[in-house]
Chain A
């Protein structure tokens, strides 16, 4: 067997060994696989009631979801880790979305710093002192919302229904979701 064939077989075996994840990219599916939800149940999926929470911001001011919703049309949570993409998203939100929705409460959720002082330091260094930054001190909050870098959650005032829970991407879906609020 030639060297080339042996190498090819080795590569093929390596590919097969890792194909569990790989096939999703080699042959991507467009099928909608979002789980069905029971309307009115508590959870992070669109159509569910958002789990209530109380979190400190970087100035140690506590924020409770239900209280915030009592005085706003909606709450937007943006899960932020102070990375380049996060900066692009947050900057876009600041420039093009926040000014058009004065009755919506926008929060950055710093889910990586783990403490208020570190989060405050990162907030200042990144130039986002004009945003309210919420600081979960454990990963249970992020897990409850099934969130990661760039996840954007929209919760409306009408029964705390989650309207959107996915990556910010180009911001168009966030804008459309906010414009569709009652």
Chain B
């Protein structure tokens, strides 16, 4: 059994690493909507720490209006955002781990007659995760009911507004790299691997903290209290892992994600202009070395440019490359 457990451990490792690509890739698109958030970060069960770097290239391809109808961007528009995300995860106990992710954002926009190239820090994310299990839960075969038990993670995230928001000293909406609000998220991640298949579900509920506002797009305005609406995210994914001859692994994962935010608030009144919804599909290929200490991933996240796939939000494609190194 010991050898079997060791094998399971490796599989969990691979499975968990695949999950990283499916966790919330908050493509807060368009500088005009506040870009530059970052993803979550979870490391495998029996590791001490992990460093991670990813590069996102996001291309804008129209938007959904407030009725959910798809609209192309105006003529002569080419909107892009690039992000480098630096992440570090650390284990605090057998069941506890935390991480920090710091993005740096470049906005590169041609919008009809307007050209804009700006850069700056994005919003920083701090994560804390609790693992509800002590032993790995992935199996090769289901022999008893207990083999169906999934790995369940409970998490909390704090988004810190370290980016450049519309409330800072910015000239226009294209300068933005962050949203300007603190946010607290409660996260639930359920993951099950019955080798070689893997499935996971991530649910997240976030509340923005209300803040003072006395400036908007560089101009001082009548002070008010504002907040964005509650945020809900659900991501469902399924993956398949190949073992290569070298015992490296290659994992293919597909994910479906739904993200929405409710009405914001201005001095307590509802503000429907910040309400949004986005549905997207993502495909990930992850290659992990035999010792499972290095993982290389490529992800393409696609928002479908059709009616009713979103609401009041840009339609984007995000191409991401990620490298993770696990420290034992």
Contacts and interface: CB of A to CB of B under 8 A. Distances in A.
Contacts of B170: 21
B312 interface: yes
A89 B113 contact: no
Contacts of A89: 273
Contacts, number: 173
A114 to B, nearest CB: 3
Interface in B196-216: 211-216
Contacts of B72: 125
B272 A170 contact: yes
B121 interface: yes
A113 B245 CA distance: 57
A168 B170 CA distance: 18
Contact of B313 (A84, A169, A170): A84
A118 B124 CA distance: 39
B217 A148 contact: yes
Given A22-B162, A25-B168, A30 B273 contact: no
B76 interface: yes
Given A26-B162, A84-B312, A118-B113, A92 B273 contact: yes
Contacts of B74: 82, 112-113, 118, 121-122, 125-126
Interface residues of A, number: 52
B112 A122 contact: yes
B71 A126 contact: yes
Contacts of A170: 266, 269-273
Nearest to A32: B223
Contacts of A115: 113
A6 B251 CA distance: 33
A85 interface: yes
Interface string A80-109: 011111011101100000000000000000
Given A25-B162, A32-B222, A34-B221, 17 more contacts: A11-B124, A15-B162, A22-B161, A22-B163, A24-B165, A29-B214, A87-B71, A88-B312, A91-B65, A112-B111, A112-B112, A114-B113, A118-B75, A118-B112, A146-B218, A148-B218, A166-B222
